[in-house]
Structure 1
Amino acid sequence: MPTTTATDGTPLNYRVFGDGPRDVVLVHGWMVSGAVWDSMLEKLDMTGLRLIVPDHRGTGASGRPASGYTLEQYAKDVLAVADHAKAQRFVLVGHSMGGQIAKWVAAESPSRVSGLVLLNTVPASGLPLPPDAAGLFRTSAGDREKQKTILGLACKQLSPESLEVLLKDSGAVSKDAIEQCFDSWTAGGFAHRLSAITAPTLVVATDDPFLPPVFLKQAVVGLIQNARMTHLPGPGHYPQVERPAETAALVSAFLAGNTAQA
């Protein structure tokens, strides 16, 4: 698997699927690694695509530094991976906190981003949680029962097999990543930058209990020019795991309609 180096020296691992002329970078969220995309990738129409799937610092096969778990640094990490993979212009597909990171990249480097797909994205303004939930989330590193509780709250159509895969992935995420990432995505703090995003944007909402469609329409779609929303009923927070075929179809349809922007 290819590895590059972040601006602070952290090793960043990523995987590449396909060899088509169009680059798509998939940006995962909190408490998981790039493996969270695997079920969806099996269903995705790969015609003409090259998919770049990084592991964020503190997850998967990437390095585990003591610091650097901010949205700004994550965005730099994504660009470092894109540069190493020689992806000059690309579509970003981001989930949850990964949607925040994708928006940061699209606002920071609009000339490089030809499209955005945001799956249950955390708003750029952040998502403060009630104290009890915040305590559960922030102290969940390496705690299978806490992470199982979080996934139980967040998901609606997760099979027992998929739950085990997610728990194995989540259990390997570093304590620094769990704690500092949580602080970063709940705080947000960059909604004022969204006006710089020029790429066509699809916001995918599900029946996520934390990020319902009405909320995403106001907090995300309304702040990005050329953004639209679609609703996938049924799954909760992880549609790419809960309903991989339907999620892949939405991504493929967006990519098919986005060819003129490539």
Structure 2
Amino acid sequence: MSLARADDGAALYYEVNGTGDDVLLLIAGQSNNHHWWDAPRQDFDARFRTVVFDHRGTGRSDKPETGYGTRGFAADVRAILDDMGVSEAHVYGTSMGGRVAQWFAADHPDRVRRLVLGCTSPGGAHGIERSAEVRRSLAQRDTRKARQALLELMYTPAWLATHPGPFTTIGDRDMPPHARRGHFTASKEHDGWDALAKITAPTLVVHGADDVFNPAANAPLIADRVPDARAHLIPSARHAYFEEFREVAGPLVLDFLTRTP
């Protein structure tokens, strides 16, 4: 358990686990802390030193009024690797974390060995937005119904029927309102289209085939934009494919990260 310092002085909480020589940095989704990775991280600890962290505004990291943007979050990633003394790492980002990973890989190509972009979007004019129906389901005034709608976007009914929680992927409850707004705006305003074309790391794009929270149609868009990237859609999976379909996603990503060139 350590604290890095961002460029603006904000404290960034991170944890390192695992026994491998190579580093795998895992980036969580919007308004979530490092617990997003509690389950899937276990698939990588035997092979890598895994690094998880709390985005600014979440968990044990500082919650400043400013600094909320996907490119700024990528600078926070750099600060954490600098604090560790790590010159390069594999990077796996999901959802908003995938947006952050796009910027990090584009801005620091010499620091990314292999890149995995999960359930994410290029944003901007080229990204495929969720439907109005999905947006309405999340904006319900009844908070219990809105929470249930979010769970059903993340997981299949079969999973929810046998997994009553607690859930680590539906937001950090302790975020102050300004930080929650900052995360929302960061995701909404992300436009990584030009950045994608600058990525040089070998790249795997993973998405749940039934994801409508961040529509699966974004996966081939990203894979076509990143040089030599490939996409893999996991049948029947929704947004949290990395947890519910861990028996598929874990080996898939591990094979990609450990493959010899």
Q: TM-score when scaled to structure 2?
A: 0.87
Whether the aligned pair in 2 keeps the contact of 1:35 and 1:169 (CA below 8 Å) is: no
Unaligned runs of at least 5 residues, structure 1: none
Residue identity (%): 30
Please list the CA deviations of residues 76-130 of structure 1 after superposition, one character each: whole Å capped at 9, or x if unmatched: 1011011111221111100011001001000001111111111111224355455
Distance 2:3 2:227 in 1: 34
Distance 2:76 2:140 in 1: 25
Distance 2:153 2:23 in 1: 34
Whether the aligned pair in 1 keeps the contact of 2:99 and 2:192 (CA below 8 Å) is: no
Give the equivalent residue in structure 2 for 1:83: 82
CA shift at 1:65, angstroms? 1.4
Distance 1:183 1:135, change over 3 A: farther
Whether the aligned pair in 2 keeps the contact of 1:71 and 1:184 (CA below 8 Å) is: yes
Give the equivalent residue in structure 2 for 1:29: 29
Give the equivalent residue in structure 1 for 2:65: 66
3-state SS of 1:165 partner = coil
3-state SS of 1:192 partner = helix
CA shift at 1:208, angstroms? 0.8
Distance 2:23 2:102 in 1: 17
Give the equivalent residue in structure 2 for 1:241: 243
Distance 1:169 1:205, change over 3 A: closer
Give the equivalent residue in structure 2 for 1:155: 155
Match of 1:202 among 201, 204, 226: 204
CA shift at 1:234, angstroms? 2.2
Q: Which moved more, 1:151-160 or 1:83-92?
A: 151-160
Give the equivalent residue in structure 2 for 1:56: 55
Distance 2:137 2:65 in 1: 21
Q: Which moved more, 1:28-37 or 1:151-160?
A: 151-160
3-state SS of 1:29 partner = coil
Q: Over aligned residues, Cα RMSD in angstroms?
A: 2.5
Whether the aligned pair in 1 keeps the contact of 2:30 and 2:96 (CA below 8 Å) is: yes
Whether the aligned pair in 2 keeps the contact of 1:97 and 1:121 (CA below 8 Å) is: yes
List aligned pairs for 1:1-262, cutoff 5 A. Answer: 1-44=1-44, 46-47=46-47, 49-125=48-124, 126=127, 128-129=129-130, 134=135, 146-156=146-156, 158-159=159-160, 161=163, 163-166=165-168, 170-206=172-208, 207-217=210-220, 219-257=221-259, 259-260=260-261
Whether the aligned pair in 1 keeps the contact of 2:98 and 2:120 (CA below 8 Å) is: yes
3-state SS of 1:30 partner = coil
Whether the aligned pair in 2 keeps the contact of 1:127 and 1:188 (CA below 8 Å) is: no
3-state SS of 2:36 partner = helix
CA shift at 1:152, angstroms? 2.0
Distance 1:121 1:8 in 2: 27
Distance 2:188 2:230 in 1: 24
Whether the aligned pair in 2 keeps the contact of 1:138 and 1:178 (CA below 8 Å) is: no
3-state SS of 2:166 partner = helix
3-state SS of 1:16 partner = strand
Distance 1:136 1:209, change over 3 A: closer
Q: TM-score when scaled to structure 1?
A: 0.87
